[in-house]
Structure 1
């Protein structure tokens, strides 16, 4: 998952982003890859390593599914903008459209503009789940000197609120369904289904396009932005750290969440896809490459957006320090308006949203793959051969649950989901993973598993990180997140208490399986409480790779001969002869040995 660098504080944000990648993401991703590759199982059955806490696996799947519901809506916004990028006059550049509001606020077209001082409020949606260009930005607008009593907004802001989202006044007024957005959402979900319905083999081929394509476009944006007049203004600002911001706890909490959403530890994705690796794969190399490539992509995205903003500053004379847009305003307001300074604007807007769509889809279908793989592995006997049907059910369910978010009040609901669905739970899941594997299962066993797979043990630095550095970093960040918690808001709109209560119910929904499953396991296990704990804290007989991987000499009959020769049609051999005298395919040793 690549969403880029963070909102509102880009220069200071680079430092905590790097720290969390090196000391947080890389160790966790490496550990999750070991868990998935060694067990050859998904996010739920991997917790056979510690049956008492198998509820963490269920919680991970729930959290990932909740994330996929509202992230699909964000991608459908991108498709909506992509379609409108082909209009002869970009609809977010003018104020004479049917959706523009002139009575309650002043609409300022994109040309000859200066900062209006309007704010979009505290909003975390695209701080977590938009494209790689999530860095600080603003639009260029002019001061309307003769109107001071009315709120001022740009044509791009009004297009987003009153055309794309058709927003109502609050969550209590959901309004009617936004049919164009619903159509875009259906198209995105269909595309995701086509990418994964045949399983991981098809997914592996699809990612060549969905990953490499946007990186090619990123390179094009990078070159185009670098040669713009004034680009050096934005790049210099981007690379000059504002060290005073590092004293703010908020920036560290947001950096942690950004890394988790971008790289994906705690969501079960690394465990799921590592389970498809060869048993001897070098997962340490993969973990380092994944995290460094994600960091490089976000860092490069910062160069792209700030080179364009430097050009806007050069052309308009606006101080780049005045560019303070964040949240949804970054991807759907700031960049579309900045692209108007890149002729032809339709081309650059279309390329931007085309790249955003495929980056979004590349992040979305792994979410569905995590859910499908976890359920399929947990109930393998009942769901054997039904991957396509299960995938269809999961995606259709996500689509139906997302419909309220494409209504007039859907954005308020989406913000509530984004605020509570993963902010706390994913960090808790990752922290539990670290503590269980380091102190319950044991570092020595993890090291032995790694040697069994690759012939090499775990480096000492990773052992220290798993036992001390990374758990401490996550615990402190989680503590600061809770300590500095503020309820969600949007501009002047404040969520009511029952809205906030609903949000906490959403947060508890993914965490509830942990205590519920602990109680269930202790109840079902015989013995005293101490004996029950001792049994359920140890790996059960299902933990570890399948027998044919542990002993590659032995091949199950159904894999050697096919299902038609198994079951009631067992292979008959002539038992009147000794094994040494039985020739050809009748020799039992041939039937079981390579």
Structure 2
């Protein structure tokens, strides 16, 4: 076995894994999804999904990385050389996410600056789409580069380079030991202040009041599983890479459970934070909470700034909110880039410094496309197809391959050797049956929807160029990389 760098401490690894899992989606996707799918009742399928898919899948990926000591392509090649391509598909997906995710982090950095003087004004929608993004009418009408966004994206890639270039222990672990505790502290401070505002409890009632009739709708259960997979960074190589740096006697099961529970706990804190703000805004403007609730980019850059305008001490609220978004985004971006870095180092044997530097330069150059006037439109298409087609495909193929074709016994034996609690038939059943069925349903239903209902009103040529082409291109590149001779044969490491 090669001499692989290791995490400095168990706490450092868990904070890094949590930092990867906690991203912008926890803050702007989970609260609205809970509200849309039964409020308080949504937590029943959510916790069920956490126990039957989130933790089992995380244990499996931690186990694979720990057992074979490598990135996703190396692990799959170690199992069987003909499966290496799937690891590269996952890494291609991660690389694409890193490119456009950096642009969104750039927006949060700019808005952190805007919070100091309320530069978004009273028309937050007009400011975001017009003055700030300079949004064009088509994904192929690029317009000019928006230089504030360009500069913020350069800072994002610079921070990622600094963390990844410094290595696992000296860079990534050290960064996450600062970012993640500070992120939790800022969210708690924000919540502690915002729940005292008039109308905040109305927003919380709106979020948590259960609608148990929703539990009879299978799509609600599928949504819960989808949120678990989207928010845990599983299925596209990150957790395999991170766990490959664990020492031999690491407690895989406990580490996986803690990572999942901390991530999901943060999602619930984010729900309290967001709906307290929305409740306060509804109270101030005389609207219903349902009229101001939303998700995604609109929530973060239009609704929340408008809500901050209605609050006392907008500088305080704006600064903390966008600082939280920035830290959540940067910690996730570091993990995504590390997954790609680890794979290229394993395959070609180049130095970490060289790989990280080249990767960040290329990544920043590609991110520049998302700093143009068409950036949001391109990002919308790419992100939609990545999340609803590519990630589901990669996770589905991985779980079918590992649980049905290869078998779980090898991973289970390795995991149980060092963990405080063991996994057995229930763990295997959750992966082989429940997870496969839910992921299969989600992937094929999403594929059918995309075919029958073209997404977002975009032209078919735009959807093909920025959406449908991603997965086929990733597979072609993955097969090419599998055929490339590595500096050391992957399958020799086990």
Is TM-score (shorter-chain normalized) higher than 0.5?
A: yes
Structure 1's unaligned 5+ residue stretches are: 95-154, 525-538, 545-594
Corresponding residue for 1:506?
A: 470
**1:46-101, Cα deviation, whole Å (9 max, x unpaired):** 011122211001111100000000000000000111111112xx12233xxxxxxx
Q: Deviation of residue 410 (structure 1)? A: 1.4
Residue of 183, 189, 198 corresponding to 1:220: 189
CA 430–343 in structure 1, closer or farther in 2 if over 3 Å, else same: same
The SS at the match of 2:331 is helix
Label 1:517 to 1:316 Cα distance change in 2 as closer, same or farther (>3 A). closer
Residue of structure 1 aligned with 2:244, choices 272, 275, 287: 275
Q: Match for 1:10 among 8, 16, 34? A: 34
CA distance in 1 between counterparts of 2:217 and 2:291 reads: 20
Q: Does structure 1 residue 347 correspond to structure 2 residue 338?
A: no
Shift of 1:251: 5.3
Residue 454 of structure 2: which of 487, 498, 502 is its match? Answer: 487
Distance (Å, rounded) in 1 between the aligned partners of 2:476 and 2:293: 38
Q: What's the Cα RMSD here?
A: 2.4
Q: Residues 441 and 272 from structure 1, CA distance in 2 versus in 1: closer, same or farther, beyond 3 angstroms?
A: same
1:385-419 Cα distance to aligned partner (Å, 9 max, x none): x2111101101111101111111111111112112
1:542 aligns with 2:492: yes
Name 2:108's counterpart in structure 1: 78
Structural mapping, 1:341-380, within 5 Å: 341-380=310-349
CA distance in 1, matches of 2:422, 2:53: 20
Cα pair distance change 1:228/1:375, threshold 3 Å: same
Equivalent residue number for residue 423 of structure 2: 458
Residue 193 of structure 1: which of 161, 179, 182 is its match? 161
Contact 2:254 2:421 in 1 (8 A): no
Shift in Å at residue 11 of structure 1? 2.4
Q: Is 1:416 matched with 2:440?
A: no
- Is 1:62 matched up with 2:92? yes
Q: 1:313 matched to which residue of 2?
A: 282
Gaps of 5+ in 2: 1-20
Q: Cα distance 1:426–1:189, how it changes in 2: closer, same or farther (>3 A)? A: same
2:273 alignment partner in structure 1: 304
Question: 2: distance between equivalents of 1:71 and 1:304?
Answer: 23
Contact 1:29 1:287 in 2 (8 A): yes
Cα separation, 1, equivalents of 2:399 and 2:140: 41
Question: How far, CA to CA, are the matches of 1:241 and 1:542 in structure 2?
Answer: 53
264-273 or 478-487, larger mean C-alpha shift: 478-487
Matching residue of 1:93: 121
| Aligned residues of 1:250 and 1:481 also touching (Cα < 8 A) | no
How much has 1:276 moved relative to structure 2? Answer: 0.5
Aligned equivalents of 2:420, 2:254: Cα separation in 1: 14
Structural mapping, 1:13-412, within 5 Å: 13=37, 14-15=42-43, 16-47=45-76, 48-87=78-117, 90-94=118-122, 155-201=123-169, 202-243=171-212, 255-380=224-349, 383=350, 386-412=351-377
Aligned partner of residue 484 in structure 1, secondary structure: helix
Tell me, in whole angstroms, the C-alpha distance in 2 between the residues paired with 1:455 and 1:286: 10
Pairing partner for 2:408 from 418, 435, 443: 443
Higher RCO (CA-CA < 8 Å; seq separation 6+): 2
Judge conservation of contact 1:33–1:274 (CA < 8 Å) in 2: yes
Q: What does residue 396 of structure 2 align with?
A: 431
- How does the TM-score come out when normalised to structure 2? 0.86
CA pair 247-516 structure 1, distance change in 2 beyond 3 A: farther
| Preserved contact between residue 232 and residue 310 of structure 1 (Cα < 8 Å) | yes
SS of match in other structure, 1:169: coil
SS of the residue 2:145 aligns to: coil
Change (3 A) 1:465 1:432: same
CA contact (8 A) 1:7 1:327 kept: no
How far residue 318 of structure 1 moved from its aligned partner, in angstroms, is: 1.9
Aligned to 2:3: none
Mapped contact 2:454–2:460 kept (Cα < 8 A): no
Quote the Cα distance in structure 1 between the aligned partners of 2:374 and 2:360: 23
Distance 2:194 2:473 in 1: 44
Range that drifts further, 3-12 or 276-285: 3-12
SS of match in other structure, 1:288 = helix
Alpha-carbon distance, 1:242 to partner: 3.5
Moved more, 499-508 or 19-28: 19-28
Contact 1:29 1:265 in 2 (8 A): yes
Residue aligning to 1:140 = none
TM-score by length of 1: 0.72
Distance 1:409 1:208 in 2: 36
Q: Secondary structure at the match of 2:388?
A: coil
Report the secondary structure of 2:120's partner residue: helix
| Alignment check: 8 A CA contact 1:195 1:206 kept | yes
Distance (whole Å) between structure 2 residues aligned to residue 513 and residue 422 of structure 1 = 19
Check conservation: 2:186, 2:320, Cα contact below 8 A.
yes
When residues 455 and 216 of structure 1 are mapped into structure 2, their CA distance, relative to the original with a 3 A threshold, is: closer
Cα 1:39–1:299 change in 2 (3 A) is same
State whether residues 12 and 241 of structure 1, in contact with CA within 8 Å, keep that contact through their aligned partners in structure 2. Answer: no
- Shift in alpha-carbon separation, 1:483–1:7, aligned structure 2, 3 A: farther
CA positional deviation for 1:243:
4.4
Q: 1:251 to 1:178 in 2, by over 3 A?
A: farther
